Amino acid sequence: MKVTMFGTQPYDRETFDRVGRDYGFGMVYHKSHLNADSAVLAEGSDAVCIFVNDEADAAAIARLSNLGVRLIALRCAGFNNVDLRAAARFAIPVVRVPAYSPHAVAEHAVALLLALNRKIHRAYWRTRDGNFSLHGLLGYDLWGKTAGIVGTGRIARCLIRILLGFGMRVLAYDPCPDAALAASEGFDYVPLDELYARSDVISLHCPLNDSTRYMIGDVAIAQMKPGVVLINTGRGQLIHTEALIDGLKEGRIGAAGLDVYEEEAAYFYEDTSDRIMDDDVLARLLSFHNVIVTSHQGFFTREALDNIARTTLDNLREFAEGRPLTNRVLLEA
Ligand code: NAI
């Protein structure tokens, strides 16, 4: 079976070549993202394999179908970038990697939180420059503070355990709450407005869909505690970035740790350091000393990369052998 991989980086090629030795697929790697124009690169392939910033919209899927592509394999958990209705219309199943290392993303969220609270990013540059002053580096104990976790799926569960280990109180919101989990771990489900009002730290772990797009905007920010630390390792469009910028300027948001950004596709995963930044919103975000932006790297651990490759290759093998697709994304998902 021939598989065209879009949006690849050298580490994708290295991992898939190493893990994929025994699978016997013909993998073709492309750096370009999938979109309606680049879809032609998949000519002659049975399947395409895509990542978070590839665009499998209706036009791209129609092209893929014309080229004879019969499967879309996401090498990530989120599937907000695939038009599932279009895929169903063209009878192209979509598979994904539902879990590869929830620890990787949860630990990255914690890294952002600790760095922001204790100003590690600022201290790093200061001491290298011979500046050993503590001025402006004051943080606070996480012990005894309240964390609000939006979405209590796989990643959030890992994060909740870590935060409870810090001695934080954890509040959570999920439209499908798991009362047994809350009781056994020791956290409370509360309505979203209560979570916003009571949390010192808010971390987003729900999928991006029509009901969550821009859930953090002016209205939500106005309900939050002044000085709240906002962490987003979910998807960029969960936050209305201009509202976040206003919140940061007014001091309502104390700090923001963003592993995702709503317009990230134009920048993330690329070295654009020799270009003038033409995204004024991203440039403004990067100008705040209390904002850390990472380039959608929450998943980026050795363990996660290996698991992603293995599950993706297993998904492809199930398809090649005509078996039921364990990790198929269903239209109603
Ligand atoms: P999951 O599917 O295990 O959990 C998602 C949870 O969100 C579920 O419990 C669901 O009921 C809940 N949810 C659905 N709608 C909601 C709403 N309106 N409000 C609050 N909660 C809602 O997903 P998992 O693996 O925990 O991943 C969460 C998200 O993290 C993914 O959808 C993806 O967008 C993002 N992600 C980011 C990565 C990164 O590298 N930064 C890597 C992997 C995932």
CATH number at residue 47: 3.40.50.720
The one catalytic residue in 235, 240, 289, 317 is 235
* 149 part of a folded domain: yes
Using the mean position of ligand 1's atoms as its centre, give its distance from the Cα of residue 77 in Å: 9
Per the structure, the count of domains in the chain is 2
Structural domain including 306 reads 2-100+301-320
Q: Amino acid identity of 285?
A: L
Residue 332 known to be catalytic: no
Sign of CA dihedral 299, 301, 302, 303: negative
Using the mean position of ligand 1's atoms as its centre, give its distance from the Cα of residue 206 in Å: 3
Taking residue 28's Cβ as centre, other Cβ atoms within 10 Å add up to 17
User: Would you say 54 and 33 are in contact if contact means Cβ atoms under 8 Å apart?
Assistant: yes
CA distances from 132 to 9, 84, 120, 129, 138 (A): 39, 54, 13, 9, 14
Alpha helices, H only, 167-228: 179-185, 192-198, 218-223
* 333 part of a folded domain: no
Q: Report the predicted TM-score, pTM, of the whole model to 2 decimal places.
A: 0.93
Same domain, 14 and 134: no
Task: Give me the tens of pLDDT residue by residue for the chain, a chain 333 residues long.
Answer: 999 999 999 999 999 999 999 999 999 999 999 999 999 999 999 999 999 999 999 999 999 999 999 999 999 999 999 999 999 999 999 999 999 999 999 999 999 999 999 999 999 999 999 999 999 999 999 999 999 999 999 999 999 999 999 999 999 999 999 999 999 999 999 999 999 999 999 999 999 999 999 999 999 999 999 999 999 999 999 999 999 999 999 999 999 999 999 999 889 998 999 999 999 999 999 999 999 999 999 999 999 999 999 999 999 999 999 999 999 999 875
Residue 235 known to be catalytic: yes
Residue 121 known to be catalytic: no
* 246 part of a folded domain: yes
Whether residue 111 has its Cβ less than 6 Å from ligand 1: no
β-strand partners of 4: 28, 48
Same domain, 15 and 150: no
Instruction: Give Cα 324 to chain centroid, integer Å.
Output: 27
